[in-house]
Amino acid sequence: MTPLQLALSNLTDVGDSDDDLLDNEFQSLDAARCLLAAGPALPILSSLAAAGPAALPLYADFVIARLPLSGQDWALVPAPCPGLCGVLPAALAHSPEQARQLVRHLPPPYVQRLRTAALALHRAQKELGTSLPPPIVGLILAAGCAE
């Protein structure tokens, strides 16, 4: 068992009381976060998938630690995956392709929010006869997607 698998196993193997549950889960999540950048991506993604829904918050940390992700890595990120919206600025900083891949993994309400913000921004620019630089547009869209 790898250290990451051990940390992830503690997400379900917790104490009896609610306080034990919270303390142990937070410690396990923190330990797992520290290990996401260590080792090959595919075994880490496999470990996250095997841990089930309790590991969903860790995918955003994985993406931030590993950008840019390969197509093979993106294929192993669950879709929709809550928590990824906060990664949009980092994905945009890498490339439009990484941002596109990330948006494909967002929950539908966030995709709709991004689409609405993009359309509103486009309309405002058109009415004002101006065009914002792409990095500014990306920041505005990322702010509109914030959870």
Integer-rounded Cα Rg, in Å, for the chain is 18
Confidence at residue 23, expressed as pLDDT on a 0 to 100 scale: 76
Q: How do the domains of the chain map onto residue ranges?
A: 3-145
pTM: 0.84
Nearest residue to 145 (alpha-carbon basis) of 86, 67, 92, 57: 86
- Compute the average pLDDT of residues 96-121: 93
- Please state which of the ranges 25-29, 52-56, 76-80, 121-125 shows the lowest mean pLDDT: 25-29
Q: Is the per-residue pLDDT at 14 higher than 50?
A: no
